[in-house]
Structure 1
Amino acid sequence: MGEEVEHQEFTRADRTRHREKVRRNLDVLARMLRESRFEADDPMTGMEIELNLVDEQAQPALRNAEVLEAIADPAFQTELGLFNLEINAEPRRIGQGGLHAFEESLRASLNDAEEKAAAQGAHLVMIGILPTLDHGHMGPAALSANPRYRLLSDQILAARGEDLAIDISGPERLTATSETIMPEAACTSTQLHVQVSPEQFPAYWNASQAVASIQLALGANSPYLLGKELWRETRIPLFEQATDVRSEELKAQGVRPRVWFGERWVTSIFDLFEENVRYFSALLPITDDEDPLAVLEAGRTPSLAELRLHNGTIYRWNRPVYDVVEGMPHLRVENRVLAAGPTMADTMANAAFYFGLVRALATSERPLWSQMSFSAAEDNFHAAALQGIDAQVYWPGVGQVPAVELVLRRLLPLAREGLAAWGAPEEESGRLLDIIEQRCLATQNGASWFVDRVHDVERSGEDRHTALTAALQEYRERMHANEPVHTWE
């Protein structure tokens, strides 16, 4: 999300030219899919982790520029808020020790970054929403300096025609308004990438949609926002509302939101790109001079820059990705469901579970999505975001079942099979999936631990802000100890 932009104002002619170019990109993509021009023989996987910055008192530290300068590592990038960073892991092949390599490289990078950030008066925290954020951190002064963010915020608010409205009800209720998209910056996630062929894409995307609820139930880690206890994974309703360009009237008309679970199982990656072009106007109508058809007919790979930029402003929880690496085009499923944290051990366990489970389901002889309605998958998704590790979900052949019971009885064995199919060493996959098993047995994840800890402090007579600060201080210490969250007292 850190790409630089040049244009700050757009004319009607700019928007018309951009729409035409996006549609030309879409036609070229369709031809590339027909002609099987994509690299997928030895697929890679990838990871991105978004981080928060806090000061010594566990309050947001608006210092990402200084911290990035001190880290001096291109793997770290800005994010929307001055209290955010992102680290991009080098892509890996799971069958070549990729899980272990991800874990070792990320731990080393984050430990080094923490040391350098501390010298700038800041500390890294992996958590879905920083619990100590307050309303003062939701204003334009907290936007990162990259002009893309200001432009994106201005375009969303202009399209909406009024301030953003946040209204989330859980154990407590939060209502707020914002003149920028800064509430989006409160959401920090772990993003998992799976490279696939065009033929494999529908199965991997459908499988990712089907298991998104299970990921949320197991990995929920954002129960507080602006001092209120809300959903166990508050990132979900917050992100849905923080980038919503629709007025109340457009919502009533059934206009689709830009943060979108989707509405059907797919049979081609083209379905998703075509929906994005058909349903959503451009927020950043920036157009370059490349003629994608001429590039393709010259034997080269078109960048499809306008289609990719447009796709990046539609926030599907499982996003289709077209990319070009070293001149070769490839396709990915970008899984955007999980919160960051609580520890690197937990993060890697979540990744292993996803990579294994989605592989097993995508290659199953009887697809799960042929037995389950899409609306059931979406209902599961929001139920798991609300209830976290205590969620009950619908599953074919089982009916309504506690998510942890479903994982223990059915999904963990499938994840083990899937990781074996990727070629992951058994000791590597076994260690990480054991963390998932123990988390289910303990029925404790980041969100449930944090809520319990805050309640404990409040029962001692402290106010909510003091309780959130104390719990976050302890959380950060435990995060760096890297003992999985199911072991936390």
Structure 2
Amino acid sequence: MGEKVAADGIDPADRERCRRKLHECLEALRRMLAEKRFDRPRNLMGLEIELNLAGADGLPRMLNSQVLDRIASRDFQTELAQCNLEVNIMPHRLCGRVLDQLAEELRTGLAYADRQAREVAAQIVMIGILPTLTAADLTVASLSESDRYVLLNDQMRAARGEDFAIDIQGVEHLLASSPSIAPEAACTSVQLHLQVTPGRFAAVWNAAQAIAAVQVAVGANAPFVFGRELWRESRPPVFLQATDTRPPELTAQGVRPRTWFGERWIDSAYDLFEENLRFFPPLLPFCGPQEPLRILDEGGAPDLGELVLHNGTIYRWNRPVYAVADGVAHLRVENRVLPAGPTIADVIANTAFYYGLVRALAEEPRPVWTRLPFAAAAENFDTACKNGIDAALLWPRSGRGGGLAEIPAVRLVRQELLPLAAKGLDAWGVEPADRDHYLGIIEARCARRVNGASWQAAAYHHALHQGLGRDGALAAMTRRYSELMRTGEPVHTWPVAWAVGRPAVPEERRVAEGA
């Protein structure tokens, strides 16, 4: 039900029916947790990457349906806008040479997808926000051909009652408005899934929240939005504002946005699903045929379709996931913090750092979230988004004194968190060679204070100094980024200076889409 939604119209009775069904689903979930009706632990992880399509000129290409037709693989799917794709890697067991295996699968899959994209004069670009995107590129007309996207846009627009405002003050100031949620499609991310038992869910989710800022600091890769240099990781504010169904009056009243960091540490997965119902009205009030409590009474595992669909319209940076596979229910933590790219090596390094660190922190006898106020974790997240690898973060002091200290992110990672991540990967049973190689990429980024965002900003200013205007510099930087991305070498090794050439295609704005 959550995958395909028909836009047949919604009336008040639909909303009332859906609200009742959501509460039935929540009661079913409560019973399943109490009765331990979940899959056994299997150390399974999953990986999804959202991708951009660009031309040889570095400009976006609205061609995902044509590219997907040529790829013809279920591993690749549409995303919100026609310039986006998503690749899904099958679940893997976290052990052995899993990191190298993931890297090889991504290299093979993305190389094939790129070859198919080139048949329609496009190419795959892994980047948090494509720097050459403009507000004019992202409109209702650019949404992918899907009833669900159209209906989601219509419902968010109706809930807000006015245009969506994008107002971000960073290095520069961006002020824009949109009559649709299409600007959200600018944001492309890596999503890391970890299947956990109900008993471990809260510890893993809390750990993931505590380190979200650190992930952003070392992995930021989205400094440009609609031609303006903003935050080092601009996806979170863009995503929040492009999906914000609150008019200013509700914002002033403290109503929660549908994209949010959260407001407390949790004790159970139930806490998050209960908050979803308590704080957010359903945007897609559709009901499936299942009766969850009856199925539960009969010994089955209900799909909780309404709860799952509703959860998919609330954009937590660490999202709870309920699913049923082979007739057995399971829970996952979906980490949505990281931007896409810059290279496969960087993506897998970020992956290794996350899975190792979250395991180590979740198993500490004195968990970090018992010493770090949730408000400090939320403040850290904003700080990391604004400053990237140059951020200083609040972190619990070691030793008897306790309290918080403000520590440069690179020092925190190198001195404290990388050893913990290594310990966590050892606990998963990851091969030491993989562990050392990919965590070494994180260490080198911190030593050189270079990540995707800092490279993009430096390369853009280099192009400006070579005499290009703003649009030309962004396009030249994007083309250079794409070239270096294809070498596979991690971003901390990329040179900033290069001979800036003129565009392969004149910059009068777009070649005809589909040509």
So what's the TM-score if we normalise by structure 1?
0.99
| Structure 1 residue 40 displacement after superposition | 3.2
Contact 2:2 2:308 in 1 (8 A): no
- 443, 449, 457: which one pairs with 2:449? 443
- 417, 421, 431: which one pairs with 1:415? 421
Cα deviation code 1:52-97 (max 9, x no counterpart): 0001211100000000000001000000000000000000011143
Cα deviation code 1:224-278 (max 9, x no counterpart): 0111000000001000101000010000111001001000000011000000011
Separation (CA, whole Å) in 2 of partners of 1:59 and 1:307 = 39
Counterpart for residue 260 of structure 1: 260
For 1:264-413, list aligned pairs within 5 A: 264-397=264-397, 399-413=405-419
Separation (CA, whole Å) in 2 of partners of 1:325 and 1:49 = 22
| % identical aligned pairs | 53
Contact 1:172 1:228 in 2 (8 A): yes
Contact 1:219 1:339 in 2 (8 A): yes
Secondary structure at the counterpart of residue 232 of structure 1: coil
Q: Could you list the runs of 4 or more consecutive aligned residues of structure 1 that deviate by over 3 angstroms after TM superposition?
A: none
- Tell me if 1:456 matches 2:493: no
Secondary structure at the counterpart of residue 74 of structure 2: coil
Secondary structure at the counterpart of residue 387 of structure 2: helix
The amino acid across from 1:147 in the alignment is D
Separation (CA, whole Å) in 1 of partners of 2:96 and 2:413 = 26
Give the number of equivalent residue pairs: 489
Contact 1:38 1:198 in 2 (8 A): yes
Contact 1:50 1:84 in 2 (8 A): yes
Separation (CA, whole Å) in 1 of partners of 2:33 and 2:113 = 41
Counterpart for residue 484 of structure 2: 478
For 1:125-164, list aligned pairs within 5 A: 125-164=125-164
Runs of 5+ consecutive residues of structure 2 not aligned to the other structure: 398-403, 496-515
Separation (CA, whole Å) in 1 of partners of 2:450 and 2:292 = 50
Contact 1:222 1:233 in 2 (8 A): yes
Contact 1:2 1:77 in 2 (8 A): no
Secondary structure at the counterpart of residue 266 of structure 1: coil
Counterpart for residue 171 of structure 1: 171
Cα deviation code 1:354-401 (max 9, x no counterpart): 000000000001010001100000000000000000000011006001
Separation (CA, whole Å) in 1 of partners of 2:222 and 2:92 = 28
Contact 1:43 1:93 in 2 (8 A): yes
Contact 2:190 2:337 in 1 (8 A): yes
Contact 2:343 2:488 in 1 (8 A): yes
Contact 2:7 2:148 in 1 (8 A): no
Secondary structure at the counterpart of residue 177 of structure 1: strand
Label 1:2 to 1:138 Cα distance change in 2 as closer, same or farther (>3 A). Answer: farther
Secondary structure at the counterpart of residue 301 of structure 1: coil
Contact 2:135 2:183 in 1 (8 A): no
Separation (CA, whole Å) in 2 of partners of 1:54 and 1:135 = 16
Secondary structure at the counterpart of residue 90 of structure 2: coil
Counterpart for residue 434 of structure 2: 428
| Structure 1 residue 2 displacement after superposition | 8.5
Separation (CA, whole Å) in 1 of partners of 2:4 and 2:52 = 21
The amino acid across from 1:188 in the alignment is T
Counterpart for residue 63 of structure 2: 63
Cα deviation code 1:253-306 (max 9, x no counterpart): 110010010000000110000000110000000101110111112121100000
| Structure 1 residue 135 displacement after superposition | 2.0
The amino acid across from 1:120 in the alignment is V
So what's the TM-score if we normalise by structure 2?
0.94
Counterpart for residue 88 of structure 1: 88
Secondary structure at the counterpart of residue 372 of structure 1: coil
Counterpart for residue 103 of structure 2: 103
Contact 1:7 1:286 in 2 (8 A): no
The amino acid across from 1:283 in the alignment is L
RMSD of aligned C-alpha atoms?
A: 1.0
Cα deviation code 1:79-124 (max 9, x no counterpart): 0000000000000011143222211111100011101110111100
Separation (CA, whole Å) in 2 of partners of 1:300 and 1:268 = 22
| Structure 1 residue 141 displacement after superposition | 1.1
For 1:12-91, list aligned pairs within 5 A: 12-91=12-91
The amino acid across from 2:192 in the alignment is L
